[in-house]
Amino acid sequence: MPNTVSFITAHFDKYNTDDLASCLAIGGFGGLKRALGLTPAELIQIIADSGIQGRGGAAYSTGIKWRQAAEVPGEDKVVICNADEGEPCTFKDRTLMEKDPFRLLEGMAIAGYAVGAKHGYIYLREEYRHLRPKLQKAIDQARTNQWLGSHIQGTNFSFDITLYSGAGAYVCGEGSTLIESMEGKSGRPRIKPPFIKECGLFQKPTLVNNVETLSAAAAILDFGAEAFKAYGTEKSPGTKLISLAGNVRRPGAYEIPFGMTLETIIETIGGGLEEGRTLRLVQLGGASGRIAPASLLDTPYTYEDLAKAGLDVGSGGILVVDDRTSVIEFLESIQDFFIHESCGKCTPCREGNRQIGRIIARFADGAPRPDDLETAKRFATIMSNCSFCGLGETAQSALLSAIRHFPEAFELGAFGEGDEAGLKANANVKASAAGVAVGETIGKHSFKGERGERA
């Protein structure tokens, strides 16, 4: 595929993923071999030198995160792989686990050695239960062949992995919520401080990393930090796995170097839109990401350039929407998703999502109130500033960016009538024809995109 690269994905389709011997035959666990010959501090410095940022969405320096975790005192530390990937239009972690499960185990062991942990957990989302047998078989084989367990490869380092299944909640992609779930509690975020690195799973010092982050760390130890930095840009070094989906000819998970434009990603890698279709919008980073119009397609895919354009890399999702879907229809689907997935712990998120859902439904029905747009903006701002966790803080990213880039979608004239009374009449006719009352669409959680991953 033109413009794609193979660094993290170097082992894809080159070995039998059910057979450790075939993985070792192509150089598998090379990164862990190298790591065991280094001190933890030297290992962490290599990760820091690579410039890799966390691939779960927050983009925090992995080297700094590992160094902070290593500095926390305690002999009973834990590494958790966040494989809860619940962000709509995000499925690159699933692809990594399907095509190279041993690379993930290797990355977890490397992280454990770096921070001084003896045990790791993979928190696998419920919707990925079909991957559980594959991952468990990989763990069992790695343990049998001394790549996991006591005294790995005859060294003094011991590290084992337990596979844990979630129950299908989007909010459990947030680190502290994931840990609450693992402890048998309701999946709701914790108050911080104390921070996870100091008091995480069962009150133990805990490092939580995303599937892609851990797999990338293993590849960096295997091939070197300089090889990683040969890709990308100065401020966004390396490669990124993206989940390209929606109205493109070739959807899929691809590894790309940072720096190519959104247009190149969509047209060259994704094959462009179907003939006769035009682009409506692009959403980056999953349902919690901002949306962009066609005028921003020349933006390079880097952390810094996207930030300048008011966009985010996020989870790596890139959802392409053509002219068959209106902006309001798109927002309605997004809002239904967040109403369904809010854990309900805090008022701004719980009530804000519901109220904004009602407002968007009125726009969809062609019957907005005169103050609806300002009310939605006010509620969205409150949610961004006051919600307890990242779900509520980012749930209205799509709405706020739509108001910025597509103001015409919220004008009364956009709904086919020139006056408000006519709009309401139209809405009642539409609702009656559907056999429901006006506004009754709230509560029907039918998110139209693929429920991918949230790291």
pLDDT at position 183 over 70: yes
Reply yes or no on whether the pLDDT at 428 is more than 70: no
Q: How confident is the model at residue 412 (pLDDT cuts 50, 70, 90)?
A: low
Is 331 part of a structural domain of the chain?
yes
pLDDT tens digit sequence for 250-270 = 999 999 999 999 999 999 999
Within a domain: 15: no
Q: Check pLDDT > 90 for residue 434.
A: no
362: left (phi over 0), alpha (psi -120 to 50) or beta: alpha
Is 144 part of any domain? yes
What is residue 187's predicted lDDT score, i.e. its pLDDT?
A: 93
Site of tokens 């680190």: 175
Cα separation of 219 and 30, whole Å? 8
Same domain, 359 and 281: no
Q: What are phi and psi of 303, to 5 degrees?
A: -60, -45
Looking at the predicted structure, is the pLDDT value of residue 375 above 90? Answer: yes
Whole-angstrom distance, CA of residue 265 vs CA of residue 300: 10
- How many residues does this entry show for the chain? 455
User: Which run of H or E residues covers position 394?
Assistant: helix 390-394
- Does 267 share its domain with 336? no
If asked whether residues 89 and 211 sit together in one domain, one would say yes
Other Cβ atoms less than 10 A from the Cβ of 429: the count is: 12
CA 150 vs CA 40, 119, 123, 198, 218: distances in Å: 18, 11, 22, 25, 20
Q: What 8-state DSSP symbol labels residue 408? A: G
Q: For residues 447 and 286, what is the distance between their CA atoms, to the nearest angstrom?
A: 12
Are 305 and 193 members of one domain?
no
Asked if 361 and 260 sit in the same domain, the reply is no
> Is the pLDDT assigned to residue 440 strictly greater than 90?
no
Residue 412: which CATH number?
1.20.1440.230
Strand-pair partners of 149: 159
Domain identity same for 278 and 177: no
Q: What pLDDT digit, counting tens, does each position of 43-72 carry? A: 999 999 999 999 988 889 999 999 999 999
CB 304 within 8 A of CB 74: no
Cβ neighbour number for residue 396 with a 10 Å cutoff: 29
Please give the pLDDT value at position 299: 98
Q: Is 447 part of any domain?
A: no
Task: Give percent above pLDDT 90 in the chain.
Answer: 88
3-class SS shares of the chain: helix, strand, coil, % to 5: 45, 15, 40
pLDDT of residue 58: 82
For residue 435, pLDDT over 90 is answered with no
Query: What is the 3-class SS of 317-376, one letter each residue?
Result: EEEEEECCCCHHHHHHHHHHHHHHHCCCCCHHHHHHHHHHHHHHHHHHCCCCCCCHHHHH
* pLDDT at 430 (0 to 100): 35
Reported as a pLDDT band with limits 50, 70 and 90, residue 420 is: very low
Q: Is residue 4 part of a domain?
A: no
Alpha carbon separation from 182 to 50, 67, 206, 344 (Å, rounded): 32, 25, 13, 19
**What is the structure's pLDDT at 444?**
30
Residue 253 shares a structural domain with residue 216: no
Considering the entire predicted model, what is its pTM? 0.89
Q: What is the identity of the amino acid at 63?
A: G
Residues 296 and 384 in one domain: no
Of 206, 229, 252, which residue is a domain's last?
229
Is the pLDDT at 35 greater than 70? The verdict is yes
The domain boundary, picked from 187, 202, 229, lies at 229
Tell how far CA 448 is from the center of its chain. Answer: 17
Which residue do the tokens 């930095």 mark?
A: 229
What CATH code is carried by the domain that includes residue 274? 3.10.20.600
Residue with tokens 């862990």: 32
How buried is 38 (Cβ within 10 angstroms: 0-12 exposed, 13-18 middle, 19+ buried)?
middle
Choose the most confident range, by mean pLDDT, from 107-116, 163-172, 407-416.
107-116
DSSP for 74-121?
Answer: -SSEEEEEEE---STT--HHHHHHHH-HHHHHHHHHHHHHHHTEEEEE
Query: To the nearest whole number, what is the mean pLDDT of the chain?
Result: 90
Q: Say if 443 falls within a structural domain.
A: no
3-state secondary structure of 233: coil
Residue 159's domain is classified under what CATH number? 3.40.50.11540
Q: Residue 452's pLDDT band (boundaries 50, 70, 90)?
A: very low
Q: What does the pLDDT look like over 307-339, one tens digit per residue?
A: 999 999 999 999 999 999 999 999 999 999 999
Shared-domain flag, residues 278 and 367: no
Is the confidence at residue 436, as pLDDT, over 90? no
Instruction: For residue 430, give the 3-state DSSP assignment.
Output: helix
Number of folded domains in the chain? 3
The reply to whether 336 and 418 lie within a common domain is: yes
276 and 409 both lie in a single domain: no
Q: Give the separation between CA 263 and CA 196, rounded to whole angstroms.
A: 39
Residue 418, pLDDT above cutoff 70: no
Is 1 inside a domain boundary?
A: no
- Predicted confidence (pLDDT) at residue 115 exceeds the cutoff of 50: yes
Residue-number span of the structural domain to which 309 is assigned: 239-322
Residues 44 and 126 in one domain: yes
d(CA 180, CA 202): 9
Percent of the chain with pLDDT over 70: 90
Asked, as a colleague might, if the bond just before 193 is cis with ω within 30 of 0, I would say yes
- For residue 5, is it within any domain? no
The per-residue pLDDT for 414 is 58
Q: What is the pLDDT of residue 425?
A: 34
Residue 445: predicted pLDDT: 29
Of the listed ranges 287-301, 344-358, 379-393, 419-433, the least confidently predicted one is 419-433
The domain boundary residue, chosen from 322, 357, 381: 322
